Amino acid sequence: MASAKFLQKMEQVMGRFHEVEALLEKPEIASDLKKLTALSKERSDLQPLVEKYEEYSAAVKGVSDAQEMARDSDPEMAELAQDEIRELQALIPRIEEEMKLMLLPKDPLDEKNILLEVRAGTGGEEAALFAADLYRMYSRFAERRRWKVEIMSSSLSGSGGGFKEIIAMISGNEVYSWLKFESGVHRVQRVPSTESQGRVHTSAATVAIMPEAEDIELKIEDKDLKIDVMRAGGPGGQSVNTTDSAVRIHHIPTGLIVICQDEKSQHKNKAKALKILKTRLLEAERAKQDAARRDERRSMVGSGDRSEKIRTYNFPQDRLTDHRINYTRHNLAGALDGDLEDVISNLRAHHQAELLQAGLE
């Protein structure tokens, strides 16, 4: 039977659901598009959990009713009631587990598209060929899920078809949710095509999965601006050179200065100067994000040394092993052709189990 803490959490969910439904019926909410949209989404998000809890409550009540029926003096009715009790008592724990998973906090990045980076690590040309294999593996997995793959940049390693590095944007439904556990060092053990003695070589490639960075919404405070007006200089008509139409904006926190004097109107010059300033500040923020992404990638993938592996692709044994969850499967050719559903599903399930153990029991 579910714990008191779990049932209390579900009662809170039910209370909030009914509260949202009541709010959606209010005229002042219906006339406020922003609030209406937010509440409608919240209701939609809560609906599956509410329905699952109603299923759970019906099953618990069903057990109680069947227990009452089992006390009936009619032996046939009592036996039917016992059968129903057994069925419902087997069903209730499954419903509880489903609800617990639905209660887990959602990663706000799960819906995002991702930037996939694959780089050759230890192993020379064989590592570069393996990097190409990994890129194809993720591309084929993306095709199976109807995602879009767009190469952003690549660096070939030579004539063998390998990559020193390749970077691609993968976009679609819940891309980050499915691929976020792929970051790290991937190790391959196989006989390279250039190996004449048939010896198995070990090499590695690094994979980094990063959620797509969105544009930062810039809010410039008036106190951060020093705005001066002045007489425009240079060629132009009489009003351009004789009125205070030119505008200079100094963004104090960054030291950026923008001057606009092309328009005869001071207001138009100010609007242009602000637009240029915002564009430059946004570009600076993007550059900062790019630097942060590079640092994040380095922390994800380590040095590319074989000893830091998260997964091994062993060709002689036709075996793929994920070392984080001790999961092994065969049909390596299928995996490298994008058949990764089982591997990734097990990683996701392991992560969910860790979250459950951390506080939802």
Question: Domain holding 16: CATH number?
Answer: 1.20.58
Do the domain assignments include residue 327? yes
- What pLDDT is recorded for position 355? 79
Look at residue 302 and tell me whether its pLDDT is greater than 70.
no
pLDDT in tens, 138-164: 999 999 999 999 888 888 887 678 999
- Sheet-wide strand order for 225-230: 225-230, 246-251, 256-260
Determine the residue type at 126. Answer: E
What does the pLDDT average to over 57-72? Answer: 87
Copy the structure tokens of residue 64.
Answer: 């109680």
Whether residues 149 and 249 share a domain: the answer is: no
User: What is the band of 237 on the pLDDT scale with cuts at 50, 70, 90?
Assistant: very low
Q: Which of 159, 158, 203 is nearest to 185 (CA)?
A: 203
Q: Which of 53, 76, 103 is the last residue of a domain?
A: 103
Average pLDDT, the chain: 84
Whether residues 25 and 89 share a domain: the answer is: yes
Whether residues 91 and 208 share a domain: the answer is: no
- What pLDDT is recorded for position 178? 94
Look at residue 108 and tell me whether its pLDDT is greater than 80.
no
- Output 211 or 317, whichever has higher pLDDT: 317
Number of folded domains that form the chain: 3
Determine the residue type at 243. Answer: T
Q: Which of 32-36, 165-169, 183-187, 284-288 is least confident?
A: 284-288
- What pLDDT is recorded for position 214? 65
User: What is the band of 239 on the pLDDT scale with cuts at 50, 70, 90?
Assistant: very low
Q: How many of the other CB atoms lie within 10 Å of CB of 134?
A: 24
Whether residues 233 and 353 share a domain: the answer is: no
Q: Which of 248, 275, 251 is nearest to 261 (CA)?
A: 248
Choose from 155-164, 193-202, 262-271, 326-335 the range with maximum mean pLDDT: 326-335
Whether residues 262 and 352 share a domain: the answer is: no
CB distance 168 to 295 below 8 Å: no
Q: What angle do CA 225, 282, 221 make, to 5 degrees?
A: 25
CB distance 228 to 254 below 8 Å: no
Whether residues 269 and 147 share a domain: the answer is: no
Measured distance CA(126)–CA(200) in Å, rounded? 11
Whether residues 210 and 118 share a domain: the answer is: yes
- CATH code, domain carrying 142: 3.30.70.1660
* Contacts (Cβ under 8 Å, ≥6 apart) of 241: 231, 232, 233, 234
Do the domain assignments include residue 22? yes
Whether residues 125 and 67 share a domain: the answer is: no
Look at residue 240 and tell me whether its pLDDT is greater than 90.
no
Do the domain assignments include residue 109? no
Copy the structure tokens of residue 256.
Answer: 């950026």
User: What is the band of 243 on the pLDDT scale with cuts at 50, 70, 90?
Assistant: low
Whether residues 206 and 304 share a domain: the answer is: yes
Whether residues 14 and 95 share a domain: the answer is: yes
Q: Which of 292, 315, 333 is the last residue of a domain?
A: 292
Q: Which of 266, 292, 318 is the last residue of a domain?
A: 292
What does the pLDDT average to over 20-24? Answer: 91
Do the domain assignments include residue 75? yes
Measured distance CA(209)–CA(202) in Å, rounded? 23
- CATH code, domain carrying 249: 3.30.160.20
Do the domain assignments include residue 196? yes
Range of the domain at 56: 4-103
Choose from 20-34, 137-151, 283-297 the range with maximum mean pLDDT: 137-151
Q: Which of 70-79, 275-284, 295-304 is least confident?
A: 295-304
Whether residues 20 and 85 share a domain: the answer is: yes
Look at residue 64 and tell me whether its pLDDT is greater than 60.
yes
Do the domain assignments include residue 108? no
Whether residues 204 and 123 share a domain: the answer is: yes
Look at residue 130 and tell me whether its pLDDT is greater than 60.
yes
